[in-house]
Structure 1
Amino acid sequence: MQIWQMEPFPCGDRRLPHHVFPPKHMTPDQLMSKAGVQYFKVDLDDTVAMKKRLSRVKTENKINCTDVFTINESTPDLQDKLEEYYEPVTKEDNVVSMVTDGTCYFDVEPEEDEWIRIQVERGDLIVIPKGLSHRFTITPKNYVQMQRFLTKSKVTDEN
């Protein structure tokens, strides 16, 4: 996982990093204190450790449903979907996602017009706290597969 302060009003391809100049990187601890976002590295090849971590996260966040979410070149209406996912949203529940393959970005806005970009890749699990404005996009590789953990029985197409 990589974390950095993002340009407040990025122009051009949203799939690019959009660092401020000079770049301002953050640690997971700084991200937690600034925005409340939790980060866990999950070893997807160690099923026992993975199950323990996921069980704990599910219990702490009252998760009762999961789905697998994939975006790639063959996703119908890819550009429209990316536009939709890039619109900032706030949720009534924590947003819990783990990347199982590929790479993507979650952007969080702890203060108005101050965006932090979080690049997550295989084995990265993040918990975005309820009420925190966030958005989602992919990298130029146009591929991510993630497992989403939900607190409602209704699985939707939203992030």
Structure 2
Amino acid sequence: MVTQDQLQNNSGVVYYKVDLDDTLSMKKRLSRVRSEHSACPMDVLTIDESVIDLEDKLELLYEPVEKDEDVVYMVLEGSMYVDVEIEEDEWIRMQLERGDLVVIPKGLPHRCTTTPKNFVKIQRFCQKQDPMIQG
């Protein structure tokens, strides 16, 4: 078990608890995160028993990845695990539930999976495109 401060100090991951029932508070938090990380909503992903080839999809999500931009996840419903690798083969597991929002810094290996309930609905965010670079 690590504290939020230890998590941030050891990995750079930033964690927030968002009150999804308080629309004003949620909008303020999302606005701040979006501004600080140049992030905009990308999609909403639901993983549950109705997903075709669920086991294959879960296997794919569990493969460690490193992104060249910050990764932002917010759990809208259900729960999931997100693991981050802080050193070679040394992982920290976070259990995220409704209202949890994490920012995983670019270049940090991470992987995801569901809890035994196999149900999570998450909002994913991506980096904003610079209008001056579009071609």
TM-score w.r.t. the length of structure 2 is: 0.93
In structure 1, what is the equivalent of residue 42 of structure 2? 66
In structure 1, what is the equivalent of residue 61 of structure 2? 85
What residue ranges of structure 1 are gaps of 5+ in the alignment? 1-24, 154-159
In structure 1, what is the equivalent of residue 92 of structure 2? 116
Q: How far apart are 1:152 and its partner, in Å?
A: 5.4
How much is the aligned-residue C-alpha RMSD, in angstroms?
Answer: 1.0
Q: How far apart are 1:118 and its partner, in Å?
A: 0.5
Number of residue equivalences: 129
Residue number among 67, 72, 84 corresponding to 1:96 in the alignment: 72
What percent identity do the matched residue pairs reach? 62
Q: How far apart are 1:65 and its partner, in Å?
A: 3.6
Stretches of 4+ aligned residues off by more than 4 angstroms: none
User: Does the CA contact (< 8 Å) of 2:41 and 2:123 recur in 1?
Assistant: no
In structure 1, what is the equivalent of residue 106 of structure 2? 130
Of 58-67 and 126-135, more deviation after overlay is shown by: 58-67
Residue identity opposite 1:139 in structure 2: T
In structure 2, what is the equivalent of residue 26 of structure 1? 2
Residue identity opposite 1:50 in structure 2: M
User: Does the CA contact (< 8 Å) of 1:65 and 1:152 recur in 2?
Assistant: no
Q: How far apart are 1:63 and its partner, in Å?
A: 1.3
Cα distance in 2 for residues equivalent to 1:31 and 1:57: 18
In structure 2, what is the equivalent of residue 142 of structure 1? 118
SS in 1 for 2:69: coil
Cα distance in 1 for residues equivalent to 2:103 and 2:72: 4
Cα distance in 1 for residues equivalent to 2:12 and 2:119: 27
TM-score w.r.t. the length of structure 1 is: 0.79
What residue ranges of structure 2 are gaps of 5+ in the alignment? 130-135
Residue identity opposite 1:36 in structure 2: G
